Amino acid sequence: MALSHKLYAAAAKNARTYTPWQQAVKSIERATGVSCAEIQGPSRKAHIVAARWQVIALLRARGWSLPKIGKELNRDHTTILYALRQIAAVEARPQ
């Protein structure tokens, strides 16, 4: 029992812990291949905007406020609101 406790403690010490922001961005990074710097950057390329919108939707679903999301993405909260409305409009379109 003592050995497994030591192994767990060593693994926990070596494991990198991420903030909720980093967890969200890392999951979108893996899924889309768009880096955190690109997501936070000024680019308006379609694939980067799509990844940015995924981060916005994910954080909003986790209960983050618009100003808090905007601060992490270097954008105004109204830009975040616009993105959420665009996401809702795209989802509402019949296919």
This prediction has a pTM of 0.80
**Backbone dihedral region for residue 15 (phi beyond 0: left; psi -120 to 50: alpha; all else: beta):** beta
Q: Across the chain, what does the average pLDDT equal?
A: 87
- At 9 the pLDDT is 53
Following DSSP, what letter does each residue of 9-67 receive, concatenated?
HHHHHHSPP--HHHHHHHHHHHHH---HHHHHSS---HHHHHHHHHHHHHHHHTT--HH
Residue-wise pLDDT tens digits, 12-50: 554 467 888 888 999 999 999 999 999 999 999 999 999
DSSP 17: P
